[in-house]
Chain A
Amino acid sequence: MDSNRRDFMKAAAFTAAGIGLLDALPAHAQGAPKRGGTLNFAISAETPHYDAHGSDTFATLHFGSPFHSTLLQFDLANYPKVKADLAVSWEVAGDLMTYTFKLAPNANFHDGSPVTSADVKATYDRMRNPPTGVVSTRKATFEDIDTIETPDPKTVVFKMKAPNPAMLEHFASPWNWIYKASILAGNPNAPRTAIMGSGPFRFGEHVKGSHVSGTRFDGYFKSGQPYLDGFRGVFMTQPAAMMNALQGGQVQAEFRGVSPAERDRIVQVMGNRIRAEESSWTLNLMIVFNTEKKPFDDVRVRRALHLAIDRRGGAVGLARTATLRDAGGLIRPGSPFAMKDEDLLKVPGFGRDMNAARAEARRLLREAGVPNLTFVLHNRNLAQPYTPAGIFVVDQWRQIGVNVEHRQSETSPYLAGMSSGNFDVAIDFSNLFMDEPSLALAKYLSFNRAPENRSRAIDAEMDRLYAAQARERDDKKRFELIRAFEKRALDQAYQVPLLWWHRIVLTHANVMGWQMSPSHNLGQDLSGVWLNA
């Protein structure tokens, strides 16, 4: 059953990846790797701390993945399959209740001490039961784990409370860096400010506000890797400065993603000296209504604002300038469990007849007693794609007589405002590292179960449907359960998808071995990257 599911996901994922215009040869077809050189790349945000367990921002991963290892990794050439990282082999019990991992015998931390099962246990215990003062955003992910056993230093056994079909993929999550048990025992919060990993690169320096660097770890457990002598990630928060640096050769890559306009400018100037790779993206923007505030506790108001948005028209216009492209439901369009486009067209809010949709929206607002609604849209002050998305929805709502003040904040205050519920309506994002419905839909669970649900809504029916789809091992039945969940989510409109992102990554043509994927969180340990002189 499980292998059927994987085959299904794999086939569909490649269909989705087909959207990508992979100008480049795949990593495996780029010739024999050459050793040496330093890769300079841009990171468009600086991590606030070093602890991936308590982070949800790519800035932490692009900063620190080269220093760390995880149990498993996604095999990006065969996405969404997983492959070995620290765990060289693994067994999954038929009932999905036991996972046994064998660790690489030669895996060492950068201080020379071996990576053991005790380190894996301490790491996962920290994520699922964070001590006081430790932030773990992975707690809910691993709540299905019952016990972690360490029969010998190189074997770790996870026993589950309940089967979770996506558990193996969760073990490949890029956030689950393995920390050293003895360090955690001394100070559970040490990883927030200090780096001790077993990844392909040793930590060099972090000059605040400037860059992070790493040098090759000669004791890395994967034979022959890494190929680079080192790397330097330069923090470049201004897109214009980043594009100039790419063009001028100060950096050779930026791995998160750029806008179509930026791609066009660089490709026009640099020609075949630059490589542009594209893919649909496991990221979407959402409109979220604070259901604890009036009038957004009224489903008619939420539905009206949802119906007024012309996603089809917006997708065409925004795709020219912003990193947004696809209108879609709760699951990434084109991915295995996504709603088919012909079905999506029939869903209110996703059709083409905007006159009818807006007439209905006006009617709902009148019925709710707020025909001249006014509110503040809480948004992030990032140029891509938050600003154009915000301007777009403000204009859409203006067309039904709603007056909106567009207020943009720095990332941290923006997220803090979202977490504390200090907003009326906001543009939120769903940042996934894989196309697993349980991951994608978790944000829509009731607020008391999923604090990342910024609408703060409680909906027992959605929780029930979520649990049913998460345990369902028959893909067809699961597909139907997901559709039911999606229908309920869009009917209630606590939070609704706006548009899905489109990823464009620019690398200099001599940067080899890096693999494009639908998530900017994956594949950033740089172990397989090399420079073609």
Chain B
Amino acid sequence: MLGYLVNRTLLMIPTLAGVAILIFFMLRVVPGDIVEVKMRGDGGNVTQETLDYERKRLGLDQPLHVQFGQWMVGVATLDLGNSMWTDRPVVEEIGIRMELTLQVAVMATIIAVLVAIPLGTISALFKDSWIDYLVRIVTIAGLAVPSFWLGMLIILALLYWFNWLPPITYTPIYVDPVANISQLIWPALAVGYRYSAVVARMVRSSIVEVMKEDYIRTARAKGVFEKMVVSRHAMRNAMLPAITVIGLEFAFLIGGLVVTEQVFNLNGIGRLFVQAVSRNDFTLIQSIVMLIAVVFILSNLVVDLLYAWLDPRIRFGGR
């Protein structure tokens, strides 16, 4: 297992290097000039001399390969540099938002897992019954309804029935857990509903498939209780594709909640990413893309480790 972990960790390096090369050079190809946008972007009248000065200060007068080398050295030493737009450290810009985004993603994942696994299992075990139909309606609705729209409904419902809205500025959970949860539970619910719908449908179809397998029939023939058949034999195998989906969805939530963040006025990574793109803030865009890549890689790693834990065939490498 340790060797597997080391291998996977080492594989991250070429993957991230590939992402870094792609994002760095693609950004330089896209039209737009950070200095123009920054210095003239609030309507100011700026001389060419000032533009040149700023370009030099940001290092944009250097050849591309020099800029790339400097950035890669920074990444390797965990120094992501400063935002070209705000002049503040990128780590600080991302750090402010990451805490919130990560918490929403974790809460939405917890909601999704808690809702999806029981619903998907019940739906599969009572296939083609009214329970199954009900669960399918609920999950199809979850797929069809955009999270941001559900978020708007939640806000309007809170206003209409309780004349109350969640706090609009973020308070860390260690500072005030009540304020924190009362702000973030609503976007987590809005996102978690769609998330749980995706996972529940995957759990249902996996269990339906697994329940037809020979080893399930064998277990039943041996007189194993149905509850045991489901929990020990069916669920473990059926969880494999569901875990893949959970991992991918979790990674998507880091940076993929732009509109939901707007609806709830959340200061998250998604909004920051959109702002950075609109401002051509190269260093910030590069860092966010790298962050999202790392999250995807890590979530895939966790999924693979869970695979190995759930399935002995994978754990022992087919021996």
Which A residues form the contact surface with B (CB < 8 A)? 48-49, 54-57, 60, 132-137, 139-140, 192-193, 207-211, 232, 234, 236-238, 240-241, 244-245, 247-251, 409-413, 415-416, 419-420, 431, 451-452
Size bracket of the B interface = 35 or more
Per the 8 Å Cβ criterion, residues 259-282 of B in contact with A are 262-265, 267, 271-272, 275, 278-280
Residues of A within 8 A of B278 (CB): 409-410, 412-413
B112-120, B164-172, B224-232 - interface stretch: B164-172
Q: Cβ of A209 and Cβ of B45 under 8 Å apart?
A: no
B148 → A minimal CB distance (Å): 10
Residues of B within 8 A of A250 (CB): 165, 167-168
With contacts A48-B85, A237-B262 taken as known, whether A420 is within 8 angstroms of B96 at the C-beta atoms is: no
A40 → B minimal CB distance (Å): 9
A65 → B minimal CB distance (Å): 16
Among the listed B53, B159, B264, B271, which residue makes an inter-chain contact with A133, where contact means beta carbons less than 8 Å apart? B53
A236 → B minimal CB distance (Å): 6
Q: Cβ of B263 and Cβ of A241 under 8 Å apart?
A: yes
Q: Which residue of B lies closest to A46 (CB)?
A: B275
Q: Does B152 interact with chain A (Cβ within 8 Å)?
A: yes
Q: Cβ of B37 and Cβ of A416 under 8 Å apart?
A: yes
19 example contacts (A-B, Cβ-Cβ < 8 A) are as follows A48-B42, A56-B42, A133-B54, A135-B39, A209-B267, A211-B169, A232-B169, A241-B265, A248-B159, A248-B163, A410-B279, A411-B41, A412-B37, A412-B279, A419-B40, A419-B46, A420-B36, A420-B40, A451-B45
Q: How far is the CA of A510 from the CA of B183 in the complex (A)?
A: 25
Per the 8 Å Cβ criterion, residues 44-63 of B in contact with A are 44-46, 49-50, 53-54, 57
Q: Which residue of A lies closest to B167 (CB)?
A: A250
With contacts A209-B272, A241-B263 taken as known, whether A412 is within 8 angstroms of B41 at the C-beta atoms is: yes
Residues of A within 8 A of B156 (CB): 244
B86-94, B196-204, B296-304 - interface stretch: B86-94
A215 → B minimal CB distance (Å): 16
Q: Which residue of A lies closest to B278 (CB)?
A: A410
Q: Cβ of A416 and Cβ of B264 under 8 Å apart?
A: no
Q: Which residue of A lies closest to B85 (CB)?
A: A48
A175 → B minimal CB distance (Å): 11
Q: Cβ of B50 and Cβ of A132 under 8 Å apart?
A: yes
A150 → B minimal CB distance (Å): 28
Residues of A within 8 A of B85 (CB): 48
Q: Does B43 interact with chain A (Cβ within 8 Å)?
A: yes
Further 12 A-B residue pairs, CB within 8 A, beyond A241-B262, A412-B38, A452-B45: A48-B41, A55-B42, A134-B50, A207-B267, A238-B262, A241-B263, A241-B265, A244-B159, A247-B165, A249-B165, A415-B41, A416-B33
Q: Does B233 interact with chain A (Cβ within 8 Å)?
A: no
Q: Does B122 interact with chain A (Cβ within 8 Å)?
A: no
Q: Which residue of A lies closest to B93 (CB)?
A: A208
Per the 8 Å Cβ criterion, residues 138-193 of B in contact with A are 152, 155-156, 158-159, 163-165, 167-170
Q: Which residue of B lies closest to A193 (CB)?
A: B87
Residues of A within 8 A of B170 (CB): 207, 210
Q: Which residue of A lies closest to B39 (CB)?
A: A135
Residues of B within 8 A of A237 (CB): 262
B285 → A minimal CB distance (Å): 14
Q: Cβ of A247 and Cβ of B46 under 8 Å apart?
A: no
Q: How far is the CA of A158 from the CA of B167 in the complex (A)?
A: 49
Q: Cβ of B96 and Cβ of A207 under 8 Å apart?
A: yes
Residues of A within 8 A of B86 (CB): 48-49, 193, 208
Q: How far is the CA of A139 from the CA of B159 in the complex (A)?
A: 48
A238 → B minimal CB distance (Å): 5
With contacts A209-B271, A240-B152 taken as known, whether A415 is within 8 angstroms of B57 at the C-beta atoms is: no
Q: Does B32 interact with chain A (Cβ within 8 Å)?
A: yes
Q: Which residue of B lies closest to A238 (CB)?
A: B262
Residues of B within 8 A of A134 (CB): 50
Residues of A within 8 A of B33 (CB): 416
Residues of A within 8 A of B43 (CB): 55-57, 137, 415, 419, 431, 452
Q: How far is the CA of A234 from the CA of B165 in the complex (A)?
A: 15
Q: Does B8 interact with chain A (Cβ within 8 Å)?
A: no
Residues of A within 8 A of B279 (CB): 410, 412-413
Among the listed B40, B57, B88, B165, which residue makes an inter-chain contact with A245, where contact means beta carbons less than 8 Å apart? B165
Q: How far is the CA of A132 from the CA of B49 in the complex (A)?
A: 7
A180 → B minimal CB distance (Å): 20
Q: Does B315 interact with chain A (Cβ within 8 Å)?
A: no
Q: Cβ of A419 and Cβ of B87 under 8 Å apart?
A: no
Q: Cβ of A413 and Cβ of B32 under 8 Å apart?
A: yes
Q: How far is the CA of A349 from the CA of B45 in the complex (A)?
A: 30
Most buried by B among A137, A232, A234, A248: A248
Residues of A within 8 A of B38 (CB): 48, 412
